[in-house]
Chains A and B, each alone.
Chain A
Amino acid sequence: MAKTPERTRNRLYLLHRWIGLVIGVLGTIVIFSGTVAVFHQELDSWADRRPDFSPVHALGDFDLERAYRVAMQGAPDAYRHRVDLEQELGGPLRVVAFDPKQPVGRSTTLDPSTLRILQRRDGPRAEILALAPRRTLARFVLDLHIFLLMPATLGLFATGLVGLGLLVLLLTGLLVHRPSWRTLSRPPRRTKRRRFLGDLHTLVGSWSLPFTLVIAVTGAFFSLSGIVLRPAIAVVAYGGDHGALVRDLVGSPEVRESEGVASLRPLLRDALVRAEGAELRRVRLERWEQPGAKATITLVHRELLGEARRIFVYDGQTGELVGEKPSLGARPSLGGWLLDLVDALHFGTLLGPVTRVLWFLLGLGTCGLAATGILIFAARQRDEHGPLARAMRALAIASSAGMPLTLALCVAAWASWCVMGRPDPAGAMTGALLLGLATSAVIGLRYPLERALAITLGGGGLGLLAMPMLAALANELPIHAAWTQGLGLRVAIVDLVLVVLGVSLLLVARSLGRRPGLWSTRSGAGERRASGLRSRA
């Protein structure tokens, strides 16, 4: 790699250090929650062990028309402006309809086999979309990742800036350190703390660079597109008409107004035949039973590597197929392909389970980058035992080893709220998040680095081991029964992963607790001598 001129290199290094200090902790929270969120659907199944429902596409006698009638019985006409019928894997059929002019609507949950109403809610939007307490855990992780638990626009802006900051860190790090194959293949040198941390930081940063680059670019895109970029382009290219921009992006073909009302049952059957073997994801009815009615049926093919979406649009008056469209735009295009790629790259679905597992492992590895960076900063201070260096070490502990402990505390808060039968555990989980971070920081302040790492990792390991029991408790089920309830295999796999991770953390904590220092005995003994001299003075 070409050499970066010295003056430029110094400027880049300064920028790298300061951006790292500013966004290090926040960035780690975003990356850690994003790593967990890679498996948010599995987390949801693990947290809410409801009875398994048959998928609609597998029910030969499923009558979509009847399901619609049952769900919309007695509903105001205004609600027919847009009706969504959706089914998650193993879940019931959910029908949601809103009034376009007021923030009210209806949500109906049906058993797809019998069309028995399991729940119906009419009222304000926020109320009818409110999740049952057991389903709030995965939502909390997603809200933490996307919004940092702040109000929507502010949260998106914050995570967008984190993404941009991460991009600066990657490129400045690359230009400053200019990793060669020699540095990439050499294990971290254990002669001095600063050298060990520097080598570890460069090694992890370099090897994870392609992944972190993808996450930073796509993450910044997702956060900033809706609040800054799309509105700006709407002003420039659409004279401020954001609705027209969205219509072009969605690209749903318009339907000519005519007479008649199509039956839904043959529409769904037609779509399932055209996309043989696909699963129903959603049916969207627009202006149903009115002139210009339209039905959009989205099906998903689950393949070995990734999944493919098929979207069919039907005339809601004649029942004729208007056409098949891609997920974005009216026909296949560069823009639609680009957005599908961004989606698959960010969420790790490019090669299905393979990339999701890879993204999970790389995400965990990347979480350590901020911590090692902050520790390097602490080690560079003139007084390594002064208040600034100690505060930096506390931050490093909270943003790395403290994460598993914090996660376990959040799950404990969620489980307690569910057991007590209280609605909306989000507040309790937020409190647990802050408690976990604060506890880890205090441990980092109180104890030397290795001991603080050992304590927090040990606590995190015990917390992860307790999580299967907490989830069983929240569902009021014995732990072994939970593996046969609902999506039992998913639950068992998540429990197994938690146990493996928990035991691994305990082993690492034990190893750290036994060693005098991660680096040479000489420097570790020097540190103890220095602190001994100070205490005698």
Chain B
Amino acid sequence: MTPRLPLHATFSLLGALVFALVVTSGASLWLPPGRAGIDHIVVPIVSFPVVWVVFALALYAARRRGRAWAIVGGLTAIHTLLIANHLAG
């Protein structure tokens, strides 16, 4: 009988979606715009799938999951603060 997927797998995958979205959106604030003023839009969007899968696998399958959650959570927190600061003017 195939073991069920543990609940924390779903949390990791869905959580990684939210974290990756915050980090890539926030990255548009510190990435240089480039010669055409679009690099800060295109680079985060193109890299989103890779960022997500790295976060998801780290959160779910890392040997030290607590450390993985701390790192990913920390990155997300920093970008959340960046976004909040930017939106607040």
Binding site for B on A (CB under 8 A): 5, 7-8, 11-12, 14-15, 17-18, 163-164, 167-168, 171-172, 216-217, 220-221, 224-225, 228-230, 232-233, 235-237, 239, 245, 248-249, 251, 326, 328-336, 338-339, 342, 377, 380, 382
B48-72: CB near A (< 8 Å → 1, else 0) gives 1110110011001111000000000
Binding site for A on B (CB under 8 A): 1-3, 5-6, 9, 13, 21, 24-26, 28-29, 34-46, 48-50, 52-53, 56-57, 60-63, 83, 86-87
State the CA gap A453–B34 with chains docked (Å): 54
State the CA gap A234–B89 with chains docked (Å): 15
State the CA gap A167–B24 with chains docked (Å): 18
- Say whether chain B's binding surface is mostly helix, strand, loop, or mixed: helix
- Contact between B40 and A221 (Cβ–Cβ < 8 Å)? no
- Contact between B1 and A382 (Cβ–Cβ < 8 Å)? yes
User: Contacts A11-B60, A168-B56, A236-B83: A342 and B46 contacting too (C-beta < 8 A)?
Assistant: yes
Q: How far is the CB of A285 from chain B (nearest CB, A)?
A: 24
Residues of the A chain whose Cβ atoms lie less than 8 Å from the Cβ of B41: 230, 233, 237, 245, 248-249, 335
In the complex, which residue of chain B has the Cβ closest to the Cβ of A380? B2
User: Contacts A236-B29, A236-B86: A332 and B36 contacting too (C-beta < 8 A)?
Assistant: yes
Residues of the A chain whose Cβ atoms lie less than 8 Å from the Cβ of B13: 168
The 7 closest A-B pairs by CB, nearest first: A329-B36, A335-B42, A333-B36, A220-B49, A335-B39, A335-B38, A232-B25
Residues of the A chain whose Cβ atoms lie less than 8 Å from the Cβ of B46: 221, 338-339, 342
Residues of the A chain whose Cβ atoms lie less than 8 Å from the Cβ of B48: 220-221, 224, 229
Identify 12 new A-B residue pairs, CB closer than 8 A, beyond the known A14-B3, A171-B53. A11-B9, A15-B9, A168-B13, A217-B50, A221-B46, A229-B24, A236-B83, A251-B37, A330-B36, A332-B35, A339-B42, A339-B46
User: Contacts A11-B61, A217-B50: A331 and B3 contacting too (C-beta < 8 A)?
Assistant: no
Q: How far is the CB of A236 from chain B (nearest CB, A)?
A: 4
State the CA gap A229–B37 with chains docked (Å): 17
Q: How far is the CB of B7 from chain A (nearest CB, A)?
A: 12
Q: How far is the CB of B64 from chain A (nearest CB, A)?
A: 10
Residues of the A chain whose Cβ atoms lie less than 8 Å from the Cβ of B37: 248, 251, 329-330, 333
In the complex, which residue of chain A has the Cβ closest to the Cβ of B44? A233
State the CA gap A164–B50 with chains docked (Å): 9
Residues of the A chain whose Cβ atoms lie less than 8 Å from the Cβ of B24: 229, 232-233
User: Contacts A217-B50, A236-B26: A329 and B38 contacting too (C-beta < 8 A)?
Assistant: yes
Residues of the B chain whose Cβ atoms lie less than 8 Å from the Cβ of A216: 49
User: Contacts A8-B61, A229-B24, A377-B2: A334 and B39 contacting too (C-beta < 8 A)?
Assistant: yes
Q: Which of B38, B44, B56, B63 has the most CB of A within 10 A?
A: B38
28 contacts between A and B (CB under 8 A): A8-B61, A167-B49, A168-B57, A171-B57, A172-B57, A217-B50, A221-B45, A224-B48, A224-B49, A228-B21, A232-B24, A233-B41, A233-B44, A235-B25, A236-B25, A236-B28, A237-B29, A237-B41, A251-B36, A329-B35, A329-B36, A329-B38, A332-B35, A334-B35, A334-B43, A335-B34, A335-B36, A342-B46
Residues of the B chain whose Cβ atoms lie less than 8 Å from the Cβ of A251: 36-38
Residues of the B chain whose Cβ atoms lie less than 8 Å from the Cβ of A221: 45-46, 48-49
